[in-house]
Amino acid sequence: MTGTLLDHHDVVLLDLDGTVYRGGQLAPGADEAIAEVRARGVLVRYVTNNASKPAQAVSEHLNSLGLSATTDEVSTSSQAGAALLAEQLPAGAKVLVVGSEALADEVAQVGLTPVRENADEPVAVVQGHSPDTGWWNLAEACLAIRDGALWVACNADATLPTERGELPGNGSMVAALRAATKQEPQVAGKPERPLLARAVSSAQAGRPLMVGDRLDTDIGGAVRSGMPSLMVLTGVGTAADVLFALVGERPDHVADDLRGLHLPQAATVIGEQPGWKVRVGEGVLELAADSAQPQPDSTEARAAALGALRALCAAWWPLGSGPVEVRAEDSTSGDALRELDLG
């Protein structure tokens, strides 16, 4: 397990909100970490479940934050959704679009015909997030789906993170149509495979790494796609979320932020950690520090705490999932658990 984490991959798939940026600001260390990825000759792909904006708008936003991003480095769930339709429909087929004009444009670019009403006799429905979606749009889609139209959802995220908090996402609108039609859509975005597969294919890569801040979409998508993943703690996911993760949503690596790409692989991988011992009892994990472990400064303390988290995961995951009590056996381990908000 020699070299940095990046040494083992030829493309890095980066989630956006919570991983590369948070709202209108870059996540800590994102600019230097991504610049170093490029300097090392490793490809970058930005993957987003947001279907409301075209790839060009996404790249422009990234450039406005100080990153160098081109349109062909961006993979959106609207692109993945349109591609999924094109694989199953003849050229020119009519597709009822529930979503933004950006989504309609993606449908047109793959040779299909976007429409907005069921009266146009669509053979498929594609659904992506748009703040302008209303009851009328859902009603048209409902009629089409009930008439047998193929149904593709760009993503199924129940909520959408905004500066105001978590708001209804595309998955909430999908749930309304699911209830009304008793049908299930094909899903193009994370955690399903089409979006990530498209990003890897665009890079012609063979050793991808998925990096994200959400277990249910980013890490779950990596697991379903059979690729390794790095969980960063700059967004939604917490240390407790990682420790309690379900089997299909467990990362291979954990780091504070994107600078973890350039750490030694042994410093990010889930597994037994030097300086920490974990004993598994009856519904409890007991964390103890090696008595020889020196007193760290603040930076070292954070790194040590993340090591404790990886050790706890390595002990708990083979035995169970979900919440488990964690106890500190000494003051050093107590400090680590407090640093992780686990104690």
Residues 6+ apart with CB under 8 A from 136: none
- Does 103 share its domain with 167? yes
pLDDT at 1: 57
Phi then psi for residue 181, to 5 deg, are: -110, -15
Q: Is residue 170 part of a domain?
A: yes
Q: Is residue 220 part of a domain?
A: yes
Quick one: pLDDT at residue 167?
Answer: 85
Cα 152 from chain centroid (whole Å):
19
The answer to whether residue 302 is domain-embedded is yes
Residue 70: inside a domain: no
**pLDDT of 8 higher than 80:** yes
Q: Rounded to whole angstroms, how far apart are CA atoms 342 and 191?
A: 27
Q: What tokens were used for 48?
A: 């987003």
Percent of the chain with pLDDT over 70: 97
Whether 15 is a known active-site residue: answer yes
**The domain boundary residue, chosen from 242, 265, 288:** 265
- Given the residues 17, 213, 218, 252, the one annotated as active site: 17
- On whether residue 54 sits in a domain, the answer given is no
Q: What CATH number is given to the structural domain containing 112?
A: 3.40.50.1000
With residue 222 as reference, give the H or E element that holds it. helix 220-225
Annotate 108-128 with DSSP letters as a single string.
Answer: HHTT-EEES-GGG--SEEEE-
Q: What is the pLDDT of residues 32-86, one digit of tens each?
A: 999 999 999 999 999 999 999 999 999 999 999 999 899 999 999 999 999 999 9
Confidence category of residue 264, pLDDT binned at 50, 70, 90: very high
- Cα distance between residue 296 and residue 336, in whole Å: 11
pLDDT at residue 164, as a whole number:
78
What pLDDT, on a 0 to 100 scale, did the predictor assign at position 339?
A: 95
Q: What is the CATH number of the domain that holds 293?
A: 3.30.300.290
Per-residue pLDDT, averaged over 193-202, amounts to 96
Both 168 and 195 in one domain: the answer is no
- In this prediction, residue 291 carries a pLDDT of 67
Q: Are residues 183 and 198 in the same domain?
A: no
For CA atoms 192, 208, 2, 7, give the dihedral sign: negative
Q: Are residues 86 and 179 in the same domain?
A: yes
Distance between alpha carbon 103 and the CA centroid of its chain, in Å? 20
pLDDT at position 295: 55
Residues 103 and 131 occupy one common structural domain: yes
- Is residue 12 assigned to a domain? yes
| pLDDT score at 36 | 96
Closest residue by Cα to residue 268 from 257, 260, 259: 260
Q: Choose one of 161, 187, 213: the last residue of a domain.
A: 187
Report yes or no on 73 lying in a domain.
Answer: no
Residue 331 structure tokens = 């003051």
Cα-Cα-Cα-Cα torsion 140, 143, 149, 150, nearest 10 degrees, comes to 60
Which tens digits make up the pLDDT trace of 317-331?
A: 999 889 999 999 999
116 and 151 fall within a common domain: yes
The dihedral formed by the CA atoms of 34, 211, 12 and 28, expressed in degrees to the nearest 10: 0
Q: Is the pLDDT of residue 285 over 90?
A: yes
Q: DSSP characters for 14-78?
A: E--BTTTEETTEEPTTHHHHHHHHHHTT-EEEEEE---SS-HHHHHHHHHHTT----GGGEEEHH
**Are residues 254 and 288 both part of a single domain?**
no
pLDDT digits (tens, 9 = 90+) for 113-170: 999 999 999 999 999 999 999 999 999 999 999 999 999 999 999 887 776 778 899 9
Of the chain, the percentage scoring pLDDT greater than 90 comes to 88
**17 is a catalytic site residue:** yes
Report long-range pairs for 116-121 (Cβ below 8 Å, ≥24 apart): 116/140, 118/143, 118/144, 118/147, 120/94, 120/96, 121/94
Residues 95 and 167 reside in one and the same domain: yes
- Is 299's pLDDT higher than 90? no
The torsion defined by the Cα of 311, 224, 203 and 160, in degrees rounded to 10, comes to -90
11: its two tokens = 């493309």
**Do the beta carbons of residue 51 and residue 189 sit within 8 Å?**
yes
Tokens 């004009």 belong to: 101
Rg (Cα) of the chain, in Å, rounded? 22
Has residue 297 got a pLDDT over 80? no
Domain boundary among 131, 160, 187: 187
- Residue 29, in any domain of the structure: yes
Number of domains in the chain: 3
Range of the domain at 334: 271-339
